[in-house]
Amino acid sequence: MSVLIVGSIALDTVKTPVEEHADQLGGSASYAALGASFFSPVKLVGVVGDDFPASEFEFWKTRQIDAEGVQRVKGRTFRWSGEYAWDMNTRETKSISLNVFEHFRPELPASYRSSDFVLLANIAPALQAHVLDRIEKPRFVVADTMDLWIETARADLDALLPRVDLLILNDSEARELTKETSLIRAGRRIRDAGPKYVAIKKGEHGALLFGEDEFFSCGAYPLEDIHDPTGAGDTFAGGMAGYLAAAGGELNFAAFRRAMIYGSVLASFNVEAFSLERLRTLTKREIEERYQVFRAMSQFEVVA
């Protein structure tokens, strides 16, 4: 099955202590779509300006990403720039130019409205709800969010949560949303607000998954070199959504555990290069090899 992905498409400028790259493909939908495409065809919805490289549309075609839902309008594409500290965890936003994204209102082609699997990537919760209103009978809805929406659009986010099957957010966002210091209590409180499942990302410390009466903790793949952490969370979300869409009727907790590991594997590859460059060359064989290593890391045997 295909997965419908709605979010931002941007041109990013990223600086780390050793490198800087300008005007590279970014945005929540870009990372999520490429992550999902390793498992399922993607229907992409977003907006770009007339300065957006036509080559990206051609690349999307090679990756089973249908870009009919990407609006191309007059003006400049959304731009973001940021700088990372030496620990690669601390990031400072240097500039944001919304440009054509400022007035973005998702428009779904007719063929998109019957989508079974939907990923509402990181955009305003009012826009996420707008998309859901235009989908006939979505079978499974994944949504991502961030601290900005928790702080500025809390009422819209609260109204969205009961319509979401899986909510993905990071540890600081989970604590801010619930005012709980314990991530276990935070995950359970978020589930009580509506989502059937909750995934809490913990960066280099892995992720947590909450179901009705089930819980799973996944570590992070150990990496020696991290070049650009931008988009790792969006890649994680896309990988999970794409795997679940590919799983089809097998949406049991075991499938969710596998989806989380695949999402973590894809995120680990994403940070190995700037922008989406590592994902462009990544192969399914590499994904499976790292998945098996990841599984082995998560299992151990006590020998007397």
Q: Express each pLDDT in 14-64 by its tens digit.
A: 999 888 999 999 999 999 999 999 999 999 999 999 999 999 999 999 999
pLDDT at 276 over 90: yes
| Residue where the block lists tokens 């399914």 | 284
pLDDT of residue 17: 87
Phi, psi (rounded to 5 degrees) for 91: -130, 140
pLDDT at 304 over 90: no
Going by their DSSP bridges, the two strands 10-15 and 42-49 should be labelled as: unpaired
Phi-psi region of 252 (alpha: psi -120 to 50; beta: other; left: phi over 0): beta
pLDDT of residue 299: 60
Which of 186, 138, 200, 185 minimizes the C-alpha distance to 163? 138
The end-to-end CA distance of the chain, in Å, is 47
Q: Express each pLDDT in 134-148 by its tens digit.
A: 999 999 999 999 999
pLDDT at 80 over 60: yes
- Please give the share of the chain, as a percent, with pLDDT higher than 90: 83
> Which residue would you say has higher pLDDT here, 84 or 43?
43
pLDDT of residue 135: 96
Query: Domain 3-297: which topology?
Result: UDP-N-acetylmuramoyl-L-alanine:D-glutamate ligase (3.40.1190)
d(C-alpha 120, C-alpha 108), whole Å: 13
Q: Express each pLDDT in 237-258 by its tens digit.
A: 999 999 999 987 678 899 999 9
Q: What is the enclosing helix (H) or strand (E) of 155? A: helix 154-160
> Residue 219's CB: how many other CB atoms inside 10 A?
15
Question: Contact 199/167 with Cβ under 8 angstroms?
Answer: yes
Domain limits, the chain: 3-297
**pTM score, two decimals?**
0.94
**Identity of the amino acid at 17:** P
pLDDT of residue 125: 97
Per-chain mean pLDDT for the chain: 93
Confidence of residue 100 (pLDDT cuts 50, 70, 90): very high
Q: Express each pLDDT in 279-289 by its tens digit.
A: 999 999 999 99
Q: Tell me whether residue 29 is exposed, middle or buried, using C-beta atoms within 10 angstroms of its C-beta: 0 to 12, 13 to 18, 19 or more.
A: buried
> Which residue would you say has higher pLDDT here, 204 or 74?
74
Enter the tokens of residue 40. Answer: 């399922």
pLDDT of residue 298: 66
Phi, psi (rounded to 5 degrees) for 189: -65, -40
pLDDT at 86 over 90: no
Which of 60, 66, 168 minimizes the C-alpha distance to 115? 66
